[in-house]
Chain A
Amino acid sequence: MSEILVMKDIVKCYYLGGETQVVLDKVNLTITQGEFVSILGPSGSGKSTLMNIIGCLDVPTSGKYVLADNDVEDLDERELARIRNKEIGFVFQSFQLLPRLSALENVELPMIYAGVPVQQRKKRAAAILERVGLHDKMRNYPNQLSGGQQQRVAIARSVVTEPTILLADEPTGALDQNTGKQIMELFTELNNEGRTIIMITHDINIANHSKRVVNILDGKLIEQPRDSISSGNTIERSV
């Protein structure tokens, strides 16, 4: 299996009023094609910071990050935007759909920036919406959809460009337990179809849907063996 993500000694510091805060402390992470990895940690542990770096929304203070054979270190904003478009599909906790675009138009968005011609865009967006079970909701606007349906649209949007990694930040955080479970089932299906998924969560029950769990605590990563995860051992929920 090919390594599609390699992080070596990634450090991220924030400088606040003369003080340096190390948010990611020498993070090493390797992810291969087809994995479904959870990054599990309590609030403030550095999950979002890590996800921003994985998603090329931010660059590390030091360390080496290679994503799908692109060394992210010396890329400018434009090149980072291209990489995000090509290699990453984002799923956010708060869905982040544009309220004035229909479900179909929202799914089209990343293809606009990829330069996909309009006809093909519509066709692919419609096909992927059908895949996530929303064939009858394509013309609906986000406020005409339930939370679960909105997240399905967001997932459709994240995979429509066939990115290297589906990167989800607390994808069930805004959903009730049942809907959250359905979303996790969709993730599992997508993973079974060969998609690489990295999911960030503070909820071990959610993390348990993945094949591999990596703990993060105070900016340090600790790999957790699959069998040691017990579903009762939920890390304290915090906002």
Chain B
Amino acid sequence: MIIESIKMSWSNIINNKMRSFLTVLGVVIGVASVIALITIVEGATGSITEQISALGANKITVQAMGTPLKQGLNQKDLSKLSAIEYVSGVSPTISSSTAIVYNNNAETNITVQGKNEVYFKSESKNIASGRGINILDVENKTQVAVIGSEIAQKLFLGKSPVGEQIKVNGCTYTVVGLLKPTSGFALGSTNDVVMIPYTSAMKTLGVRSITSVDVYMADSAKSDAIISSINGVLNEAFNYREKAYNVFNMQDMLNAMGNITGMMSMILAGIASISLVVGGIGIMNMMLVSVTERTTEIGLRKALGAEPGRIQLQFLIESVFLSLFGGIIGLMLGVLVAFVAAMVIDFTLKITVGTILLAVGFSATVGIIFGYAPARKASRLNPIDALRHV
């Protein structure tokens, strides 16, 4: 019976190619837009999430606003933070904007960041040449710098920067390392940043206290315990003053972002599914026309013993088949659009079984909902009237 009906609907599609094409187009566009949107949003979200994770899902960021008496954290506070259980290290960041000079080539407003060896240990894979900042640099306040790829290009014009001397805020620093370029869209790009030991940075840039610290976790599953220990240390450091500091867990941010983008993709898909409804109406229209055209056929089938339910099922199968046909073309089109989008805005395309099931499920549902009324109409035709129709 089902095979019979599918054969029948296939022959209807073949016999009315243009009409079927136009009818199915609505579903094709509907499914394609839903699939493209979901795939693009998911893919883009995946890429952003990956970038954020690369920034460190295994670290907790502390921002110290300080109190009138104590503007930020000091060395002692850092030692206390690194002594917390499951903390593998702490990395302060001192950030300031200043001029960098190489020979007669000056670049103003360059971000200079004071970092320590903990940061460079976790980022060792991002050193393109030379070395990172080590613990001796930090302890001895050595005047060495690791520079980003873009600033290197601007100052050294393609020449290898390692071993050259630059002036940071007027003090002479030796470039010991070059960072790899980060992708253009990445958050926290280090391409035009100059990094120096934070101890040297405090001296050179005239900074007295540390306001930003990354706490690296040895075990990110223990983040809650670590955060409460951090709160303890900071409360003590700032004498329990309110709003003296903030603690961010990158994982929390990731989760929040996941929720937002998930919601966004649902909303977008919801909007796109309006076109599916339009497609469904197209299917319904074609099925109604088909019922009218095939009145005699319906009458004959009934005369030959087809029960009303069978006629209804046949037309329902035909509309579902038509809709599924559109859905599968739509799926391919949607994936193609997403594929092009992935190439243009540079994210990794992920096509999940869920996406495919969604397209199939959507179009089948459309076929059932919008095929129901025509199928019912067909099943209720009086065979005598139907046979007289000729």
Q: Which of A77, A112, A157 contacts B308 (CB 8 A)?
A: A77
B interface: dominant SS: helix
Apart from A77-B307, A113-B305, 18 more pairs, CB < 8 Å: A52-B384, A57-B384, A78-B307, A78-B309, A81-B302, A81-B308, A82-B305, A82-B307, A86-B305, A90-B303, A92-B387, A96-B296, A96-B300, A98-B297, A98-B300, A100-B15, A113-B301, A113-B307
Does A186 sit within 8 A of B, measured CB to CB?
no
List residues 303-342 of chain B with CB under 8 A from any CB of chain A: 303-310
Does B69 sit within 8 A of A, measured CB to CB?
no
List residues 96-123 of chain A with CB under 8 A from any CB of chain B: 96, 98, 100, 109-110, 112-114
A168 to nearest B CB, angstroms? 13
With a cutoff of 8 Å between Cβ atoms, the chain B residues found around residue A58 in the complex are: 384
Does A84 sit within 8 A of B, measured CB to CB?
yes
A interface: dominant SS: helix
Contact between A55 and B303 (Cβ–Cβ < 8 Å)?
yes
B53 to nearest A CB, angstroms? 57
Contact between A113 and B310 (Cβ–Cβ < 8 Å)?
yes
The CA of A77 and the CA of B305, in the complex, are separated in Å by 10
Q: How many residues of A contact B (CB 8 A)?
A: 23
In this complex, what residue of A is CB-closest to B310? A113
Contact between B384 and A81 (Cβ–Cβ < 8 Å)?
no
Does A28 sit within 8 A of B, measured CB to CB?
no
A117 to nearest B CB, angstroms? 12
By a beta-carbon cutoff of 8 Å, the part of chain A in contact with chain B is 52, 55, 57-58, 77-78, 81-82, 84-86, 90, 92, 94, 96, 98, 100, 109-110, 112-114, 157
Does B390 sit within 8 A of A, measured CB to CB?
yes
The 7 closest A-B pairs by CB, nearest first: A85-B305, A113-B305, A81-B307, A110-B304, A78-B307, A96-B300, A84-B305
A78 to nearest B CB, angstroms? 5
The CA of A82 and the CA of B304, in the complex, are separated in Å by 9
With a cutoff of 8 Å between Cβ atoms, the chain A residues found around residue B383 in the complex are: 57
In this complex, what residue of A is CB-closest to B15? A100
With a cutoff of 8 Å between Cβ atoms, the chain B residues found around residue A113 in the complex are: 301, 304-307, 310
With a cutoff of 8 Å between Cβ atoms, the chain A residues found around residue B387 in the complex are: 57, 92, 96
Does B11 sit within 8 A of A, measured CB to CB?
yes
